[in-house]
Structure 1
Amino acid sequence: MRAESYCDWWSLAGVDALVGEEPAGWLKLPVANDPKPKPKIVTENEPPPLPAALQRQAPVEAPTPKGPVTFPDEWNAFRTWLAEHPDVPGSQWDARRVLPAGAPGAPLMILTAWPEIDDQRDGLLFAGSAGTLLDAMLRAIGTTQDDCYRASLAVTRPPGGRCEPNAAEELARLLRHHLKLARPERLLLIGGDILRMAADIALPDARGRLLDVNHDGGKVAAVAVASPAMLLARPAQKAAAWDSLKLFNRGR
């Protein structure tokens, strides 16, 4: 009776044979009705996954390089293009564009490389105390800002006032085209940056020299001076500026 009792107990436990035909995992948990995925267990032999920043990335196709920008040949279209078009060289650094002022064909064109910080704040070239000094300089040669055509080559200011080489190439093309359309009788270059792009010389070498700046329509007589902001910070340089400005008084 005791042996039968043992057999009945194992039979109720599901064990009805000493050795089965197929192996059974006694310690394996039964499958639940709504199984959920188990988190992956990282063993000692399996390294953890790399961070996303270090994982192999899919290759990214390089954007197709754009060709040279096409500049409008008609004056009003050119002015509208400077104000609105996203491909204007020198418009990529800031959303606030500072546009030229005055009419083409003016006796004197005043050209700088890009707006100063005060200019972008006020939306007007040669603003603030630097503009006041420029007014005094122009009166010394018998003219005013209102009688001149004023422009910056780039309509926005680059970070730190420095232009990267790839942008400078397109700005050089824009310089020649802008001069062709503006048709100034004479050209006043403000600052060393625009002088290097227009005549490829340094500002100290331009002191007291009348320069010929070539453009797509010919050439124009030019002189170069330091920016009024620089002259305010370093008054000793005003003498060099006057040595160049007085060249415009010859023949008057």
Structure 2
Amino acid sequence: MGGPNTALLAQSTCDWWSLAGVDALVGEEPAGWLILPPANDAAASKPKTRPSLAAEPELAPLPPALQRQEAPHAVEAKGPVVFPDDWTQFQQWFAEGADVPGSQWDARRVLPVGDVGAPLMLLTAWPEIDDQRDGALFSGAAGKLLDAMLQAIGRTRGDCYVASLAVTRPAGGRCDGEEAAELDRLLWHHLRLAKPGRLLLIGGDIVRMAASTALPDARGKLLYINQDGGKVEAVAVAHPAMLLARPAQKAAAWDSLKLFNRGR
């Protein structure tokens, strides 16, 4: 071998080994020349341990609405509402009692007017929108029409006990389910205490509840409502507000009303 580059190649090789830390060709102890020597301090002499992970910061609690809620305890079912048996107490409870069926739909109650044992009881299912606003049953133009209907059979409102089954109006003028069942109980209790001589059912809802029939089927018929071991004569008419909107139905109302004039 030989040539002009041989010396340069040898010099380059020596330089590489010198940079790698090889400063002698032989030694008495093997040495790892490419391993970095330990630092010359006390910490370096300690065995190396795996570094611990930094503790994660605590998360802020969730808003109450997003927190898991405990399962509610079983609520003991309430029994049926107990209705007062005394007339005066019943009227006071009707006006103020928190558990009166049909009082939950509006803050303002529309209360009955009249006395126990009236010769004629006017009964509707619940107040109309105008009644709820004015705080009195059969208000406005509908009330004037009702007064004319009563006059036609020789009566005035002052002679009557005027009431609604519910003292407030349900949304949409409808109720069903448990609410309707409680109102049904209240209906018969109210009639038993009121002791009316006769009963004028006003509107399709109360006719269905009290007489178990549809208003058109009750036209011109004397109905008998079983009450407290006896029977109360009743007739059914459309609500005066309906008669104002549909005057053609006034004839059907008169066919029923004139039954009260029989035997007079």
- TM-score of the superposition, structure 2-length normalised? 0.78
- The reply to whether residue 210 of structure 1 matches residue 222 of structure 2 is yes
Shift of 1:82: 0.3
- The reply to whether residue 179 of structure 1 matches residue 201 of structure 2 is no
- Of 38, 43, 61 in structure 1, the residue corresponding to residue 57 of structure 2 is 38
- The reply to whether residue 249 of structure 1 matches residue 247 of structure 2 is no
Aligned-partner residue type, residue 251 of structure 2: A
> In 2, distance between residues paired with 1:171 and 1:99?
15
**SS of corresponding position for 1:63:** coil
> In 1, distance between residues paired with 2:251 and 2:230?
31
Aligned-partner residue type, residue 49 of structure 2: P
In the other structure, the counterpart of 1:129 is: 141
In the other structure, the counterpart of 2:211 is: 199
Q: Is the 8 A contact 1:98 1:125 kept in 2?
A: yes
> In 2, distance between residues paired with 1:37 and 1:18?
29
Runs of 4 or more consecutive aligned structure 1 residues displaced over 6 Å after TM superposition = 50-55
- Report % sequence identity: 69
**SS of corresponding position for 2:122:** strand
Compute the RMSD of aligned alpha carbons. 2.6
In the other structure, the counterpart of 1:69 is: 81
Q: Is the 8 A contact 1:179 1:215 kept in 2?
A: yes
In the other structure, the counterpart of 1:154 is: 166
Shift of 1:24: 6.2
- The reply to whether residue 23 of structure 1 matches residue 12 of structure 2 is no
Q: Is the 8 A contact 1:177 1:216 kept in 2?
A: no
Structure 2, unmatched stretches of 5+, are: 1-38
> In 2, distance between residues paired with 1:210 and 1:80?
33
**SS of corresponding position for 2:155:** coil
> In 2, distance between residues paired with 1:198 and 1:138?
21
Aligned-partner residue type, residue 122 of structure 1: D
Shift of 1:122: 1.0
**SS of corresponding position for 1:149:** strand
> In 2, distance between residues paired with 1:109 and 1:120?
20
Shift of 1:19: 4.9
> In 1, distance between residues paired with 2:249 and 2:46?
106
- The reply to whether residue 170 of structure 1 matches residue 182 of structure 2 is yes
In the other structure, the counterpart of 2:236 is: 224
Aligned-partner residue type, residue 38 of structure 1: P
**SS of corresponding position for 1:109:** strand
In the other structure, the counterpart of 2:117 is: 105
> In 2, distance between residues paired with 1:197 and 1:55?
46
Shift of 1:56: 5.7
> In 2, distance between residues paired with 1:249 and 1:28?
98
> In 2, distance between residues paired with 1:232 and 1:188?
18
> Is the alpha carbon distance of 1:72 and 1:19 closer, same or farther for their aligned partners in structure 2, counting shifts above 3 Å?
same
Is 204-213 or 58-67 further displaced after alignment?
A: 58-67
